[in-house]
Structure 1
Amino acid sequence: MDIADVPGPEQWKRVKSQLRAELGEDVFSSWFARVNLEGQAPDGTVQLSVPTRFLKTWIQSHYRDRIIGLWQNECDSVNRIELTVRGAVRARPSVVAQNAQTAAKASQKGVFETRPVSLGDATPRGLSQPQTRSEHEPRRDVLEGSPLEPRYTFATFIEGKSNALSLAAARQLTSGAPVTYNPLFVHASVGLGKTHLLHAIAAEARSTGRKVLYLTAEHFMYRFVAALKTQSAIAFKDTLRGIDILLIDDMQFLHGKQIQQEFCHTLNSLIDGARQVVVAADRPPADLEALDDRVRSRLAGGLVVGIQQPDHDLRRAILSHRIALTRNTYPNFHMPEAVLDYVATNVSSNGRDLEGALNRLVAHNQLTNAPITLDMAEMTLRDLVRAHEPRRVKIEDIQRVVSKHYNVSKSDLLSARRTRTIVRPRQIAMFLAKALTPRSLPEIGRRFGNRDHTTVLHAVRKITELSSNDPNLAQEIELLKRMLDN
């Protein structure tokens, strides 16, 4: 893609200045200090570069929408942000002026050739950095953890009914009191606080002098593969087994038979040595189908706690806390109680969406000087509120998804054919129609080839009985439900 000249580095300076004001100096330095502006394409894509793949993934997951919003305030033509890893791309002639000389020197040294990226490169400011080495110096694998978010501490974790047990379990791990459960397994959907909890454990334990290692599953896999390539796997495993607390996040992404076996050995070694292990995932161990049975069994053998969606009181408390932090930057910021209640009631999925909603209102208030009113909140958050309204499933949607999943045509589902390859998908489709729509049995029967309501009732009872005795069928039905919910 040809990159056009950037319409003024001053715009990027203002975007960074706004990020620094919103996030605070510590967070900004950790995640954005090494983000460079490379250019802008004619189609409105702004290209930014970062030094590591992890930094790219983190910014994409947590800050992409905010960066796009700030860029659009500066330039209406911006509609997309593209993040690239500087170590994995070649220098482009359109690199902004302030980076031109550095890029030229780096290119001469071969920096822009594809190469593995060390976790040490992703260490935020304030943590130790790996020493620079020459091309011919033997590689020394120093195990660095994934970066920690400075904001994620126990002090900033808002407690409610949905997360009280997981918070109490996490606090006990760092209190010095004897712990009777190992490992601690925390599961929750996106944005409910499991990563916050792991970061808080790491920060608290480190403050008491304990050796702590926090890794995402992706980084564990990357480091293990890198150790195999450099023939330093034994040193890698010895380092892992010499820590006090190992925290693994996003366990659902741990793949590969050999890597899972090594993780299981490490898990056993740490637990047998009275070292603490904490694992987080988006579902309980029993539902992590991609994991080896031994790993799932070991994870389920400790304490498994879930974090549920926040209730109204917790959502309101989260918003109040975030508003108090916002006033550190904008002392005159004010949100009426009616608006606070509106956001807490209508943005109900998770804490991350709540924070995003508040960020929108703050930006609108600060950039336009318009007071925050209920009308303004409804207009600013209308897409966010609408996105979380329950989706109404139609029988046509069910027939389409089931037909595609089982590789049968819709006409087969509605036909009188009685072959097993047709009957079972038809019964499942009828079962889903009864479970997910308000339609009556006679109406469902009419929509499936004018069948009698007793046929539909038989299908519902049959699938209910089979799924209760067949875990594979039960998982298949849950998968179809998730497909229909998207």
Structure 2
Amino acid sequence: MTTAQIDPTQDQKWGRVLQRLHDELGEEVYSSWFTRIDFESRSASVVKVSVPTLFIRQWVEQRYGARIVQLCQQEMGDIRRVDFVVRGSVRPGSPSAPGRADKPSQPSPERAPRGSAKGTSAKAPKTEPDQPEDALNGSPLDPRYTLSSFEEGPSNMLALAAAKRVAVAASGEKAAFNPLFIHGSVGYGKTHILQGIAAEARQHAQRRVLYLTAEHYIYRFVAALKNQTALAFKELLRDIDVLLIDDLQFLHGGKVQEEFCHTLNALVDGARQVVLAADRPVSELEGLDQRVRSRIGAGLSVEIGAPDLELRSKILERRLAAQKAAFPELEFPRDVLDFVARSVTSNGRDLDGAVNRLVARNQLTGAAITLDMAESALKDLVRAREGRRPKIEDIQRVVAQHYNVSKADLVSARRTRAVVRPRQVAMFLAKSLTPRSLPEIGRRFGGRDHTTVLHAVRKIDSLVGTDNALAEDVETLKRLLDS
């Protein structure tokens, strides 16, 4: 039996398969799941591709496996099956991918122990970081992120107050807000608050605190399954006093979410504090298990909004104080600070980037920090403000208010004219004003198929040329969304 080799032509055809997946699913989904899939070989009617982790293999196979087979058939001809293999988990006797060394970091539980190249029945001591003695090693904390260094303003006042209450609670004290769920857009300070809670809570005696990103939680859970230490890992989590999970929107996988739901219930029922953060409200975390969303909804949900001008100025002043400690001779005029505060409105991270750019130019070139320098150095951030794109939830809210229907109507199955036309307009605006793909827009409108969205877009696009009232509605909505 001859070993299948990579044919450059087949590799190019696989590239076309990936491009079609990108076009169908959009950049966000594609970059999350498909950029680390490698074409390995084609043998007769079977295509073999490799992925870095068992979790990615299971997720892609379950959700996109059938579509990938269809695309391979269209691009490669007589294909009946696509096999996904985890790199480093090659079965004994099967060929390795040409030019690729087996990697020892991804063996299946029943195969090679950590450190071996191929599957054997040998047992090796488990050295994963999921052992009880170092199990509290969570995601790293940034020492700058403390509650005392978090600038308070109207957009984050409630979130900060709740965080302080959680952080100073005594061991064994009944949790006041449980679970505490903090949501807001990128760069609004969610991670700062969660890490600040972790840092302060750890200072209180007898409190066991664990901060994890969702990605780190998934990694540790999958690693525990592989090493057959899942029970010890679950018991360890249930003994935590304060569990903090960041970026909850990235918590994927049926088994992972099922176990997380059990852990969440056990901690909340046992009066242990849980703090969660995501980039959107829990009702819009469509990939999250309904039981998890329901449990989170029973706690306190707090939104962090965009910083206003006063808060942006306070953030900039704190950042400048840190820069002046490093560069005592630094001169940063007040008019430049005011310009940055007025012009960079997106989030705190962009404010950090603006300060870093100006200080770097000053220190590397010796040029004084002036208004002209700031306008030149920050022109892309200013353009980003001018070309701000609304979110789908913004579009749904504005359209619902304009047509006097509810947002729930827009995502419901109702087909009355009073609801269908506003829904079509909202889909049209979502496609026109956001970078979201048709399938993603469909999911945000009650799980509709992408063909339904395409029909709505074409329908409204054709009507605005003949229906003056509708054209005026669309222009009015665009102005509202741009304000």
Alignment TM class, shorter chain as reference:
0.5 to 0.7
Deviations 1:323-366 (A, max 9, x none): 11111111111211100000000000000000000000110111
Answer yes or no: is the 8 Å Cα contact 1:399–1:429 preserved in 2: no
Partner of 1:176: 169
- Displacement of 1:372 in angstroms is 0.6
SS in structure 2 opposite 1:213?
strand
Find out whether 1:265 has 2:255 as its counterpart.
no
- Equivalent residue, structure 1, for 2:138: 145
Length-normalised TM-score, structure 2: 0.58
Distance 1:339 1:249, change over 3 A: same
Match of residue 188 from structure 1: 184
User: Residue in 2 aligned with 1:128?
Assistant: none
Equivalence for 1:237: 234
Q: Is the 8 A contact 1:145 1:213 kept in 2?
A: yes
CA shift digits 1:402-458 (9 cap, x unpaired): 99838xxxxxxxxxxxx999864444547xxxxxxxxxxxxx733xxxx2425658x
| Alpha-carbon offset, residue 150 of structure 1 | 0.7
- 1:400 CA drift (Å): 11
Could you say which residue in structure 1 is the equivalent of 2:444? Answer: none
Match of 1:368 among 348, 365, 378: 365
1:253-287: CA deviation from partner (whole Å, max 9, x where unpaired):
00111110100000000001110000000001111
Aligned counterparts of 1:365 and 1:402: Cα–Cα separation in 2: 36
Q: Match of 2:228, as an amino acid?
A: Q
Task: Find out whether 1:200 has 2:196 as its counterpart.
Answer: yes
Structure 1 CA distance for aligned equivalents of residues 339 and 285 of structure 2: 36
How many aligned positions are there? 309
User: Are 2:470 and 1:445 equivalent residues in the alignment?
Assistant: no
Map 1:124-143 → 2, pairs under 5 A: 136-139=124-127, 141-142=130-131, 143=135
Amino acid paired to 2:438:
H
Which shows bigger deviation, 244-253 or 173-182?
A: 173-182
Alpha-carbon distance between aligned partners in 2 of 1:267 and 1:138, rounded to the nearest angstrom: 27
Choose which of 96, 109, 115 in structure 1 pairs with 2:105: 115
In the alignment, the residues of structure 2 paired with residue 266 and residue 240 of structure 1 have an alpha-carbon distance, to the nearest angstrom, of: 7
Aligned partner of residue 156 in structure 1, secondary structure: coil
SS in structure 2 of the partner of residue 388 of structure 1: helix
Q: What is the root-mean-square deviation in Å for CA atoms of aligned residues?
A: 3.5
Please give the alpha-carbon distance, in whole angstroms, between the structure 1 residues aligned to 2:220 and 2:334: 49
Measured in 2, the distance between the counterparts of 1:400 and 1:174 equals 41
| Secondary structure of the corresponding residue to residue 148 of structure 1 | coil
2:340 to 343, 352, 358: 343
Mapped contact 1:402–1:425 kept (Cα < 8 A): no
Match of 2:438 among 405, 410, 429: 405
Instruction: Decide whether aligned partners of structure 1 residues 152 and 273 sit closer, same or farther in structure 2, where only a CA change above 3 A counts.
Output: same
SS in structure 1 at match of 2:464 = helix
SS at the partner of 2:386?
Answer: coil
Corresponding residue of 1:285? 282
Q: Does 1:390 align with 2:387?
A: yes
Matched residues in 2 for 1:175 and 1:396: separation? 46
Q: Counterpart in 2 of 1:316? A: 313
Report the secondary structure of 1:214's partner residue: strand
TM-score (norm 1): 0.58
Q: Deviations over 1:129-185 (max 9, x none)?
A: xxxxxx943336332201011110012111111100000000001222754220000
Contact 1:398 1:429 (8 Å CA) reproduced: no
* Cα distance in 2 for residues equivalent to 1:401 and 1:308: 20
Distance 1:456 1:371, change over 3 A: closer
Change (3 A) 1:145 1:400: closer
Q: Partner of 2:155 in structure 1? A: 162
- CA displacement at 1:386 relative to structure 2: 1.3
**Structure 1 residues 390, 206: CA separation in 2 closer, same or farther (over 3 Å shift)?**
same
**Change over 3 Å in CA distance of 1:392–1:235 after alignment to 2:** closer
What does 1:3-82 correspond to in 2, within 5 Å? none
Code of the aligned partner of 2:352? E
Alpha carbons of structure 1 residues 330 and 247: separation in structure 2 relative to 1, 3 Å: same
Report the 3-state secondary structure (helix = DSSP H, G, I; strand = E; otherwise coil) of the residue aligned with 1:155: coil
Q: Is the 8 A contact 1:343 1:357 kept in 2?
A: yes
Q: Secondary structure at the match of 1:372?
A: coil
Alpha carbons 2:389, 2:433 under 8 Å: kept? no
Which residues in structure 2 correspond to 1:88-103 (within 5 Å)?
none
Deviation string, structure 1 residues 53-81 (Cα, Å, up to 9, x no partner): 9xxxxxxxxxxxxxxxxxxxxxxxxxxxx
Give the residue type in structure 1 aligned to 2:314.
A
Give the match's secondary structure for 2:367: coil
The amino acid of 2:277's aligned partner reads A
In the superposition, relative to structure 1, how do residues 212 and 426 fare at CA in structure 2: closer, same or farther (>3 Å)?
same
Cα distance in 2 for partners of 1:401, 1:173 equals 37
Structure 1: segments with no counterpart, 5+ residues: 1-52, 54-87, 90-110, 118-134, 407-418, 431-443, 465-480
- The answer (yes or no) to whether the contact 2:126–2:227 under 8 Å persists in 1 is no
* Residues 1:301 and 2:286 aligned together: no
